[in-house]
């Protein structure tokens, strides 16, 4: 091998790592709720904030979130995007993502927005502006995972 050829040489490598993530009490309660088609937000009476994703402690008052409130199955988009490029290990495009603030909840929760024609991106984006009403649609048989539901436009 010449020196010039050696400079262009590469050594191939791959990482394969497996994990089991412990869910814990707070997320566990949330996931149990999803099995009943309920989206449960942790509630801090000290601040009046209902959190999704749920937390053990309120990040404003530093008091425990010792209550739960059920999120409404309607809410409004706070931010959205439409993805039209393929990324490795991510869903095949196109798809829409939105942060939605559900009724009874103080913070916004991300999920896919389905059921929208995404072939014309600017046209589809105009239907996903902040303030747009969306609804929650659950799978027929939820498994206790965040992917048990998605959003769709309310009208």
Binding site for other proteins (CB under 8 A): 7-8, 13, 15, 19, 21, 23, 27, 49, 51-53, 59-60, 78-85, 87-91, 95, 97-99, 101, 106-112, 121-122, 124-125, 128-131, 146-147
At closest approach, how far in Å is the CB of 109 from other proteins? 6
**Measured from the CB atom, is 13 or 155 closer to other proteins?**
13
**Measured from the CB atom, is 9 or 140 closer to other proteins?**
9
What one-character-per-residue DSSP string does 37-102 give?
T--EEEEETTTTEEESS--SB-TTT-SB--EEEEPPSEEEEEEEEEE-S--TTSPPSPEEEEEEEE
Residues 6 or more apart whose CB falls under 8 angstroms from that of 133 comprise 74, 75, 76, 153, 154, 155
Query: 3-state class of 151 per DSSP?
Result: strand
Query: 3-state class of 137 per DSSP?
Result: strand
At closest approach, how far in Å is the CB of 140 from other proteins? 19
Report the distance separating Cα 147 and Cα 35, nearest Å.
11
At closest approach, how far in Å is the CB of 5 from other proteins? 11
At closest approach, how far in Å is the CB of 106 from other proteins? 4
At closest approach, how far in Å is the CB of 42 from other proteins? 12
The total number of residues shown for the chain amounts to 155
**Measured from the CB atom, is 37 or 125 closer to other proteins?**
125
């Amino acid at each position: 091998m010449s020196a010039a050829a050696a400079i262009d040489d590469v050594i191939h490598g791959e990482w394969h790592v497996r994990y089991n993530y412990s869910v814990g009490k707070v997320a566990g309660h949330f996931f149990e709720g999803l099995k009943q088609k309920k989206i449960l937000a942790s509630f801090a009476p000290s601040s009046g904030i209902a959190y999704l994703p749920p937390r053990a402690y309120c990040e404003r008052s530093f008091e425990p979130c010792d209550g739960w409130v059920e999120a409404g199955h309607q809410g409004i988009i706070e931010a959205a995007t439409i993805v039209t490029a393929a990324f490795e290990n991510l869903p095949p495009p196109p798809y829409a993502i939105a942060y939605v603030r559900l009724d009874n909840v103080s913070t916004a929760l991300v999920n896919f927005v389905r059921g929208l024609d995404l072939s014309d991106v600017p046209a589809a984006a105009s239907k996903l502006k902040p303030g747009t009403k969306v609804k929650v649609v659950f799978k027929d048989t939820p498994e206790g995972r965040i992917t048990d539901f998605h959003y769709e436009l309310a009208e």
